[in-house]
A and B are shown apart, each in its own frame.
Chain A
Amino acid sequence: MNALPPDEFSEEMLAAYADGELDALDRTRVEQWLADHPEMMDELRVQRELSASNAALWDAAEPPEPNAATWAVVRQEIEAELCPLGPASGDQSRIHRVAGWLLGSLAISGVAAAIGWVAFASTLRQPAIESHKPTEVVRRPETGLETAIAPAPRLISDSPDLLAAFAVLPMSTDDDVILDRVPRLCDGCLPIGRHPVPGMLELASVDDVYLEEVNPSPAWPTSGGPKMTTAPGDAPMIFAAKPR
């Protein structure tokens, strides 16, 4: 943090300063910067007031604290989940555990025997009851889309178009969004709905997206790559389709 050059001084840093969250070096840098830019003192005051009013608001809306009984239940459930994995603590607990396993095994064997007996007895009786019931056949409703959906993809690395075999890409159930190919549609748009596609979905606007961090990519052109800043509204966000 303390290696930031002065030209990267930002409002975020001023807010961190207002919160008392900077180390000594950065604090000094901000104070020097404020001395050179006294007009920013108002911004600092705004940030301090915002922090204070936020804290007051949060205190006033403190979540309801669970009562002691609720905490006890949560505590018990944590222990119940941890216990089977809990480490041994002395001979006594080991003896208890072995005894527990034996008793548990006996109990499980008993339950299994009982279930087996019930199942066996019911199969003996079942034909007499079932013989009077009509046979039910469950049919899956035909949607008409099934013929359009291709089988699972075979990814072939040297194929120019991995999705060439697909007319429709099933993303979810028939009731959800289907991504489809629409001829002569502009690049960077996402068609929505079923055939015929009624319109396009705007993926995001500059108000919805803000850029947090960018690592330089070797794929960028030598001219320096895209110009990006971290402030919202400074750069358009473009969704572009890959050329095929």
Chain B
Amino acid sequence: MRVLGTIARGVWSLSHPMPVVSVLPAPIAIAPSDTTLLERFAAGERTALDDLFRRYRLVAYRVAYRLLGREADALDAVQDGFVKALRNLDRFRGHSSFKTWLLRIISNAALDIGRQRKRDARVPQGPADNPPEQFGPSGLPPADTELVRADLREKIDAALATLPETQRQTFVLHVDGELSYREVADTLGISIGTVMSRLFYARQKLKSLLADQITP
């Protein structure tokens, strides 16, 4: 009705010299909720997977990357996590958000991969390939700023690796997963007091390890 009314006013303005300005509001695309997407996915709609993947791939990747420190491993964890989450949708009760549920599965998948990597590291291997993040699509070495960034990343990864696994997972879910204390507690099935404690001690340790990087 509003559109028809606006068009009518527009026609009216053509037949009159008096300037009439009518502004049509731009159509607002309302993104479907996670629940809607999951229902559509369960009904076999392929685009629902696209939407879910696009919505959460980056946050899932960041969490996995911080837990593993390598792009290829992080992508494996993202893939495993999405597959497990979507395959076991019947176990998702909807008490928490899909994001927290997905991030729990992905962080657990990342920790599994990390453990597997440690076991594999016992077997002597040849020199490691250049990690993909060191070279962009052009195949050229990264720019100076990217080198600085990579160096910093390496220091953070090393510092994170010294934390106990539970602290690391809690810290990464909060910082990189952008989950609140309450969401982290729901994700890991622990009390919010435990989240506070883990984050506090994780920060204290990271503060001492990264003292030269932190400039308050």
Contacts and interface: CB of A to CB of B under 8 A. Distances in A.
A50 to B, nearest CB: 6
B175 A87 contact: no
Nearest to B151: A61
A66 B53 contact: no
Interface in B79-96: 79, 82-83, 86-87
Interface residues of A, number: 49
A31 interface: no
A60 B194 CA distance: 28
Contact of B197 (A64, A87, A230): A230
A71 B203 contact: no
Interface string A5-21: 00000111101100101
B137 A67 contact: yes
B168 interface: no
A61 B149 CA distance: 5
Interface string B178-202: 0011100000000111101111110
Interface of B: 42-46, 49-50, 53, 57-58, 61-62, 65-66, 71, 74-75, 78-79, 82-83, 86-87, 133, 137, 146, 149-150, 152-153, 155-156, 166, 175-176, 180-182, 191-194, 196-201, 203, 206-207, 210, 213-216
A64 B71 contact: yes
Chain B CB count within 10 A is highest, among A13, A54, A87, for: A54
Given A58-B175, A79-B49, A53 B61 contact: no
B196 A15 contact: yes
Nearest to A55: B175
Given A53-B215, A61-B156, A62-B149, A78 B196 contact: no
B49 to A, nearest CB: 6
Prevailing SS type, chain B contact patch: helix
A89 to B, nearest CB: 3
Nearest to A22: B181
A41 B66 CA distance: 32
Interface of A: 1, 4, 10-13, 15-16, 19, 21, 46, 49-50, 52-55, 57-58, 60-67, 69-71, 74-75, 77-79, 81-82, 85-90, 93, 210, 212-213, 230, 232
B196 A89 contact: no
Given A13-B196, A60-B152, A78-B49, 20 more contacts: A4-B193, A11-B200, A12-B200, A15-B199, A15-B203, A21-B181, A50-B207, A61-B153, A61-B155, A63-B71, A63-B153, A64-B133, A64-B150, A65-B61, A74-B57, A75-B49, A78-B83, A87-B43, A212-B197, A213-B194
Nearest to B152: A61
Contacts of A65: 58, 61
B203 A54 contact: yes
A85 to B, nearest CB: 6
A74 B78 contact: yes
A82 B49 contact: yes
